[in-house]
Amino acid sequence: MTFRKFSNVGVRRFCVQRRRRTGRTGRTGTIAAVSALGLTAVLGGCGVTGGSDEVTLKLVAADYGDSPANSSQKYWDKLVKAYEAEHPGVSIDVTVYSWNDVDAKVKAMVDAGEAPDMAQIGAYADYAAKDLLYPADDLLSIPVQADLVSQLADAGQVDSVQYGIPFASSTRLLFYNKTLFEKAGLNPPTTWKELAADAAALKAEGVKYPYALPLGPEEAQAETMQWLLSGGGGYTDTDLGTYSIDSTENVATFDWLKNNLVGKGLTGPVAPGELNRADAFAAFAAGDVGMLNGHPSLMQMAEKKGVKFGMVPMPGVEGPTKMSMGVADWMMAFKQNGHAEQVGEFLNFVYDEQNVLDFSREYDLLPVTNSASTVMTAAKEDADLKPFLEELPLSELYPVGRTSWAAVSAEIKKQIGTTVTSGSSPSLILGQLQSTATRAESAE
């Protein structure tokens, strides 16, 4: 009898397929079939040779809600209840934290040697670099992996191996207040020159924030990236694979912002470096902002306050920006507790089309799977998300696969607001940020 050698990944995939065909209790037929192939030895990896199947998986997740009424805890509780009903012997313990706390909570758990089985947070690369995570290949079925939106899945890779599994995504569009624009006799801008002219007209009408430019520490890296892309630059040189923060294009972008928007008083009463994204969104929902970059959740905020708004691609130097900024949040699985098989089964359930649709619709986010994207693109109920869905294939994400990105992003949040202040040198400040990025890369 010749025995085929199975890798751990092969065993896990075999086990998943076995349970899908037979159910968790359908062991006799499977053992007979496997024995006929000389593969009985692999059944220990499927938990069918005796012992307890009782497993509790711990998941730490971020809260996408803005109140207890729509907390992500409710989403997870419902999903877990459905999963546990079909998978006796497996319990899922979910703890949800705010975005202000969740990354630090997970880091503290990992540092204490008490990593959760899964974490749904903002970054994965540091953990992958320390060999703490399972590769996606060890967890997800082939159909689920194939269903992930390609550029999101690619962004989850470190050294060509995927560790970060995209969980939620969004892109950015330029929001404008239709009422304020109509009052000023304006059309939405398509170029930087038109944006500046519209902002000047809105200022003349007494609009508090003609263009809201949130370069404060909350999410300055997002506003920055959108402007860099609209100027033909970005954080990295895609050809060379290196940081290019102080490129000629990027310096020209911030020179323009400083001289044509901020220097002319077109960005409102709060200095851009002190204006956070949440405050800018709240001001737009209050009717005090003419234009700003926004993601899908801003639609719901504005609608609740009765603000009539439109959305267009971000203007560029010569016309609408060809590439938008994309953002993804990540699911990852830690190896510490050794529950790859059970984690994989649960994640295959999490990424079921209906579950992805339910989450995306609850929080006005873009789905990370092709199947759910296809449904939402065609569904009338999701028509308001269609402009964002159309932008997603054209989007560029943060360089999240670099372990240096966390340090670079933190420094951008601290410094980028100073590039547009009176007397500043965008070239000098972007050069300092480039030096920070270069040192961080060298330390990897």
State the chain's maximal CA–CA distance in angstroms.
87
Alpha carbons within 13 A on the beta-carbon side of 55: 18
Phi, psi of 170 (to 5 degrees): -160, 160
The token pair at 5 is: 């050698």
Domains and CATH numbers, the chain: 1-51 (no CATH), 52-170+328-397 (3.40.190.10), 173-313+404-442 (3.40.190.10)
| Contacts with 107 (C-beta within 8 Å, 6 or more apart), sequence order | none
Question: Under a CB-based contact definition with an 8 Å cutoff, are residues 289 and 209 in contact?
Answer: yes
Query: β-strands 173-177, 289-294: how paired?
Result: antiparallel
How far, in Å, CA of 12 to CA of 35, rounded? 17
Q: Which residues, 6 or more positions from 240, have their beta carbon under 8 angstroms from its beta carbon?
A: none
Per-residue model confidence as pLDDT tens digits over 368-406: 999 999 999 999 999 999 999 988 888 899 999 898 998
CA–CA gap between residue 205 and residue 310 (Å, rounded) = 19
**Unique residue bearing structure tokens 């409102």:** 268
Compute how many other C-beta atoms are within 10 angstroms of the C-beta atom of residue 85: 8
Neighbours of 34 (CB within 10 A): 18
Sign of the alpha-carbon torsion through 93, 126, 245, 220:
positive
Distance CA 246, CA 151 (A): 25
Report d(CA 82, CA 342) in Å as an integer: 15
Q: How far apart are CA 139 and CA 148, in angstroms?
A: 14
Angstrom distances, CA of residue 196 to CA of 154, 188, 287, 355? 36, 11, 19, 43
Nearest to 317 by CA among 189, 173, 176, 187: 189
d(CA 252, CA 159): 32
* Structure token pair of residue 250: 């990027």
| CA–CA gap between residue 165 and residue 249 (Å, rounded) | 32
N-terminal to C-terminal alpha carbon distance within the chain:
48
What does the alpha-carbon distance between residue 261 and residue 138 come to, in Å, rounded to a whole number? 50
What pairs with residue 230 in β-bridges? none
**Rounded CA gap, 76 and 120, in Å?**
12
In this prediction, the residues of the chain whose per-residue pLDDT falls under 50 are 1-52
User: Given this model, what pLDDT does residue 65 score?
Assistant: 87
The neighbouring-strand residues paired with 439 are: none
Task: Provide the CB-side half-sphere exposure for 414 (13 A, CA).
Answer: 9
Measured between alpha carbons, how far is 324 from 314 in angstroms, rounded to an integer?
7
- Pinpoint the alpha helices (H) of 205-331: 220-230, 248-256, 277-285, 297-304
Coil, helix or strand for 402? Answer: coil
How are the residues of the chain apportioned to helix, strand and coil, as percentages rounded to the nearest 5? 50, 15, 30
DSSP classification of residue 48 = -
198-206, Cβ contacts within 8 angstroms, sequence gap of 24 or more: 198/290, 198/291, 199/261, 199/266, 199/267, 199/290, 199/291, 200/264, 200/266, 202/266, 202/290, 202/291, 203/265, 203/266, 205/180
pLDDT digits (tens, 9 = 90+) for 204-256: 999 999 999 999 998 899 999 999 999 999 999 977 779 999 999 999 999 99
Q: Give the C-alpha separation, 411 to 405, whole Å.
A: 10
Closest C-alpha among 126, 70, 73 to residue 103: 126
